[in-house]
Structure 1
Amino acid sequence: MIRVLLADDQAMVRGALATVLALETDIEVVAQIGSGDEVLAKAKESTPDVALLDVQMPGKDGLEAAAELHVALPSCRIIICTTFGRPGYLARAMAAGAAGFVVKDAPPEQLVDAVRRVHSGLKVVDPALAAESLATGASPLTGRERDVLKAAEDGSTVADVARALHLSEGTVRNHLSAAIGKTGARTRAEAVRLAEEHGWL
């Protein structure tokens, strides 16, 4: 029996995924949660073989939760299952230790197949996204540029970002300027939008 943990903040989606998986005789859904902050504790409690994580959830996002889970429970295989098939998300998911990356609009049998294949030790990636990821290349942003851009995405001032990240205002301006240049944007807001579209934030 393949024990599966589901993490998705949309109850209807979570329920639909659980229903699809429960139809299989060799798969059992052992936990369902709606927040990235709950993933590790619930995984320790329910000991799943496979964790199916959404990217965008309240608290920790699925990529942060995946990295934490991979370190704490390396025997649990991780699949990122998201509406947002962005190349940057794929790269970050693999770096976080995920073994699979599927998009929610894939046919149900693809999801079931992904769970079985990942459980058997294989890696599974949506083929269209893999091709796009190769064409797009890796994120041009450094870790610090990403942090600064992420902190500025809600329209925070340079001073606010500097305080939040414990940096000088000059350093924040330099990182923002570099991020704007690397994304090919004209403004900070456009840089945030482009970075989000590529899954770099």
Structure 2
Amino acid sequence: MSPVRVLLVDDQELMRQGLRKLLAIEEDIEVVGEAADGEAALEVIGRIRPDVALVDARMPRMDGVELINRLTVEHPSVAAIVLSTFDEDEYVFGALRGGAAGYLLKDCTPDELVSAVVRASRGETVLSSVVAARLVANLRRAPARGTFPGQDLLSARELEVARMVAAGAANREIAARLFITEGTVKNHVSSVLRKLGLRDRTQLALHLTDR
């Protein structure tokens, strides 16, 4: 199996060097490039073809949120993970709504970072515990209401399931409330994601509550 190809995007050279040394010892990861800001990243990304981009949130010229929005449109195969000291809502929710595969804080452990890179390359969403807690709290404060793009594509049952996902309900809870099996819930969630063109439950929750 080929190693996960990683691009480091951070305006601090010392941070990039530290990340490169940390990841260099991992057999399953290869750092294929570095960039000091979003514009520089876009200039090299087509040539080095990374699987994952580790992106700082706050950078000159083009910050991490703007870069992630550009990557989602121009390089959708690249999984972007924000790695930042900042956990303000504008960065967290801006990045996730823009299509980020994850959001980690720079006080995470090396093992957490390595695991996040590998998982993101597989299409999983990776969030630090602090960010995950903030996301859930925000979704519970702002339950899905009204209409949203693509709602007309969903069946009545799929819409019920989607709204429960957006409220933070787990599959077991949804199954109990709707008197269906967890397998049926999983099928409905998969169908909703496919119809709306979303990657996972996190994007679905944000899609329904960001009205």
Shared topology, TM-score over 0.5? Answer: yes
Deviation at 1:133, TM superposition (A): 3.4
* Rounded Cα–Cα distance in structure 1 between residues aligned with 2:116 and 2:22: 13
Q: Who is 2:17 aligned against?
A: 15
Deviation at 1:137, TM superposition (A): 5.8
Q: Who is 1:27 aligned against?
A: 29
Give me the TM-score of the superposition, normalised by structure 1: 0.66
Give the residue type in structure 2 aligned to 1:59. Answer: R
Q: Who is 2:85 aligned against?
A: 83
Give the residue type in structure 2 aligned to 1:74. Answer: P
CA contact (8 A) 2:6 2:30 kept: yes
Displacement over 3 Å in runs of 4+: none
Q: Who is 1:134 aligned against?
A: 136
Deviation at 1:39, TM superposition (A): 1.4
Give the residue type in structure 2 aligned to 1:35. Answer: D
Task: Determine helix, strand or coil for the equivalent of 1:84.
Answer: coil
Deviation at 1:129, TM superposition (A): 1.7
**Among candidates 52, 55, 68, match of residue 54 of structure 2:** 52
**Among candidates 69, 93, 100, match of residue 71 of structure 2:** 69
Is 1:38 the counterpart of 2:40? The answer is yes
CA contact (8 A) 2:80 2:101 kept: yes
CA displacement 1:41-73 (0-9 Å, x = unmatched): 211111000011001111010110111111111
Q: Who is 2:159 aligned against?
A: none
Instruction: Give the alignment's Cα RMSD to 1 decimal.
Output: 1.9
CA contact (8 A) 1:87 1:133 kept: no
CA contact (8 A) 1:39 1:69 kept: no
CA contact (8 A) 2:34 2:41 kept: no
The correspondence of residues 174-189 of structure 1 with structure 2, limited to 5 A, is none
* Rounded Cα–Cα distance in structure 2 between residues aligned with 1:135 and 1:77: 25
* Rounded Cα–Cα distance in structure 2 between residues aligned with 1:132 and 1:117: 21
* Rounded Cα–Cα distance in structure 1 between residues aligned with 2:19 and 2:103: 15
Deviation at 1:136, TM superposition (A): 4.7
* Rounded Cα–Cα distance in structure 2 between residues aligned with 1:69 and 1:107: 26
Q: Who is 1:105 aligned against?
A: 107
Deviation at 1:85, TM superposition (A): 1.7
Residue ranges of structure 2 left out of the alignment (5+ in a row): 143-211
CA displacement 1:2-54 (0-9 Å, x = unmatched): 10000000010111111111110011000011112111121111100001100
Percent identity among equivalent residues?
40
Residue ranges of structure 1 left out of the alignment (5+ in a row): 141-201
